[in-house]
Structure 1
Amino acid sequence: MTPTKQPIDFLIYLILFGSTIFVNKYVLSVLNFTYPTIYQGWQTLVGGILLRVLLSNKCLSISATDLDKPGFISLLPSFLFFAAGIVASSKALCNLSVPVFLCLQNTLGAMLYLMEIAPSFRSGSGPLPLLASLVTIGTAVAAVLADIDMTVDALKFSDSAYFWMLVYLACVAVQTLHSKIADARYTDIDRLYFSYVFSVVVLAPASLYLEEAFEVLHFPHAMRYDFYAGCLLSGVLGLFLNLSFMKVRRHKFFAIVDASGRLLTSLLALATFSDVTTVAVKVLVCINLFSAVFVPLPTLKDSDGIDETNEPLKEGV
């Protein structure tokens, strides 16, 4: 990435990130489209078709690698956790405010930093990133505890948005760790495309098994143009967000840009969507979003000895 293009690429990433969150939140919460297998199946179908078109017409700088049997076996865990993660993220965002959702999302990067960077005492890892990681995790946990009634909600936790957020974060974490040992022949774009295809194949019968395919026939906003526009945009924006992420993530300032994007998106969301969280939760979320700006992205060495960020694909929400 040349220095002259960095601000433009970062700006495009920030716009795509915020737009993706807003579109998904609008469809899931405002229109109350609570059918995650249908919604994410549609997203991955649109994204997969569009990505296939881009690859077929040489619009991207690389070509897709064919998926053989050893490659499928190697990438299968990533496919499974990708599909589970995007469904869980939809169920979480549907009932959580955008700031709380992004606050909890920040904990993943902080935990990976503590696991991979801080214990090794690498040069350049000073006390500020370590403190910021601890504050990010601590404020997120405190925000959850302050928002739920442990005496009432403990028994219902498996049905809550926080449970699905936990599932989502666990899926992304496992997907990230699995990327270290997955077949190195496949690029991020390969993995994204095959994850799309796998998700469509899995979520289509899942929607029938869970009867969401039949329940969606009674969705009251099925004939609204904003519903169709939102569903289409969710797939298109999700794909281009991933492509933008792949382009800018190796820049040394990306961690700051990414965390700043969550902060700005949260501030705009407060003015756009209704938020019934308490003042204490809002203060904790605010501290979390600010502290996350100082948390570096975890890195790992590739086969050529080049540092690369080990961030998961940002599909879904």
Structure 2
Amino acid sequence: MTPSKQPIDFLIYLILFGSTIFVNKYVLSVLNFTYPTIYQGWQTLVGGILLRVLLSNKCLSVSATDLDKPGFISLLPSFLFFSAGIVASSKALANLSVPVFLCLQNTLGATLYLMEIAPSFRGGAGPVALAASLITIGSAVAAVLADIDMTFSDSPYFWMLVYLACMAVQTLHSKIADARYTDVDRLYFSYVFSVVVLAPASLYLEEAFEVLRFPHASRYDFYAGCLLSGVLGLFLNLSLMKVRRHNYFAIVDASGRLLTSLLALGTFPDVTSVMVKILVCLNLVSAVFVPLPIPKSVEESADDVTELLKEGV
């Protein structure tokens, strides 16, 4: 990423991030489409088809690597946790406010920082970063505990915990997975695997039959939201692969969550208490000072994927 293009690339990432959150929140909460296997199956189908088209027409600077048996075995845990994570995130976002959702999402980066960077004091770990990580995690935990009206065992907080656990394991697994496959390969195969798994799961869970009674099935904004969720999700992932190699990505990413949360307050209803809002605000601000560790797979493939899109994502 050349210095002259950095602001544009970061701006595109922020727009894609905020748009993806808003579209998903609208479909899941405003339209109340609470069928995660159907919704995420559709998202991965749209994303997979579009990504296949981009690869086939050489719109990306990388080409797909065939998935053989050893590669499938090596990447299978990543596929499983990817599928479980996107379903859990839908169930969480459907019932959590956007600021709370992003607040809890911040704990993943802070936890990985404490696990990988702080203990060995690599990457210039300092007291500000350590304090910011602890505050980010502590304020998120306190915000959950302050919401005493909800039972954790049957709440979106449980699904948020599942989502964070899946993303953490997937991130750690990427360091030992088959190095032949780029991030684009893994995203494409994860999409394909999710479609194959979620389609029968929707039948087993009877969501495929329940969705026939969805009251907003004939609304144009519902179809537009479902389509946009898949398209925006793909380009957000491609943009993320590009900008996360930059030293300032952690600040931009955390600032994007803060800005998205502020915009969401004036867009979606928020019934959380004042105490929870204060803790969430503390979390979102402190996360700006938490450096994010760069995944090993990204460092090794940085020279091979200098530009994800020929025209620039």
Instruction: Say whether the fold is shared (TM-score over 0.5).
Output: yes
Would the aligned equivalents of 1:299 and 1:307 in 2 still touch at CA under 8 Å? no
Give the C-alpha shift of residue 163 in structure 1. 0.2
- Counterpart residue number, 2:242: 247
Partner-residue secondary structure (3-state), 2:177: coil
For the structure 1 residues 96 and 252, does the alpha-carbon distance in structure 2 shift closer, same or farther, using more than 3 Å as the test? same
For the structure 1 residues 114 and 23, does the alpha-carbon distance in structure 2 shift closer, same or farther, using more than 3 Å as the test? same
Say yes or no: does 1:166 pair with 2:161. Answer: yes
Structure 2: which 5+ runs fail to align?
A: 304-313
Say yes or no: does 1:187 pair with 2:182. Answer: yes
Q: Name the aligned partner's letter for residue 257 of structure 1.
A: V
Would the aligned equivalents of 2:104 and 2:140 in 1 still touch at CA under 8 Å? yes
Say yes or no: does 1:220 pair with 2:215. Answer: yes
Would the aligned equivalents of 2:257 and 2:284 in 1 still touch at CA under 8 Å? yes
For the structure 1 residues 263 and 193, does the alpha-carbon distance in structure 2 shift closer, same or farther, using more than 3 Å as the test? same
For the structure 1 residues 8 and 217, does the alpha-carbon distance in structure 2 shift closer, same or farther, using more than 3 Å as the test? same
Would the aligned equivalents of 2:74 and 2:178 in 1 still touch at CA under 8 Å? yes
Match of residue 237, structure 1, among 232, 239, 257? 232
Give the C-alpha shift of residue 36 in structure 1. 0.2
Match of residue 252, structure 2, among 248, 257, 263? 257
Q: Once the two structures are superposed, what CA deviation does each residue of 1:86-126 show, in whole Å capped at 9, x if it has no partner?
A: 00000000000000000000000000000000000225111
Partner-residue secondary structure (3-state), 1:48: helix
Q: Name the aligned partner's letter for residue 204 of structure 1.
A: A
Identity level (%): 87
How big is the alpha-carbon RMSD for the aligned residues of Structure 1 and Structure 2?
Answer: 1.5
- Counterpart residue number, 2:194: 199
Would the aligned equivalents of 2:174 and 2:297 in 1 still touch at CA under 8 Å? no
Q: Once the two structures are superposed, what CA deviation does each residue of 1:142-171 show, in whole Å capped at 9, x if it has no partner?
A: 00000124xxx4xx4232100000000000
Aligned length: 303
Q: Name the aligned partner's letter for residue 282 of structure 1.
A: K
TM-score normalised according to structure 2 size: 0.94
Distance 1:133 1:231 in 2: 35
Would the aligned equivalents of 1:300 and 1:307 in 2 still touch at CA under 8 Å? no
Runs (4+) off by over 3 Å: 299-308
Give the C-alpha shift of residue 172 in structure 1. 0.3
Give the C-alpha shift of residue 298 in structure 1. 1.3
Distance 1:299 1:124 in 2: 14
Distance 1:296 1:276 in 2: 31
Distance 1:148 1:106 in 2: 21
Distance 1:63 1:282 in 2: 45
For the structure 1 residues 28 and 123, does the alpha-carbon distance in structure 2 shift closer, same or farther, using more than 3 Å as the test? closer
Q: Name the aligned partner's letter for residue 263 of structure 2.
A: L
For the structure 1 residues 72 and 123, does the alpha-carbon distance in structure 2 shift closer, same or farther, using more than 3 Å as the test? closer
- Counterpart residue number, 1:267: 262
Mapping for residues 23-62 of structure 1, pairs under 5 Å: 23-62=23-62
- Counterpart residue number, 1:313: none
Q: Once the two structures are superposed, what CA deviation does each residue of 1:56-106 show, in whole Å capped at 9, x if it has no partner?
A: 000000000000000000000000000000000000000000000000000
Partner-residue secondary structure (3-state), 1:251: coil
Distance 2:211 2:12 in 1: 34
Distance 1:30 1:279 in 2: 23
Give the C-alpha shift of residue 304 in structure 1. 8.0
Partner-residue secondary structure (3-state), 2:130: helix
- Counterpart residue number, 1:94: 94
Mapping for residues 109-124 of structure 1, pairs under 5 Å: 109-122=109-122, 124=124
Distance 2:60 2:148 in 1: 46
Distance 1:46 1:92 in 2: 22
- Counterpart residue number, 2:291: 296
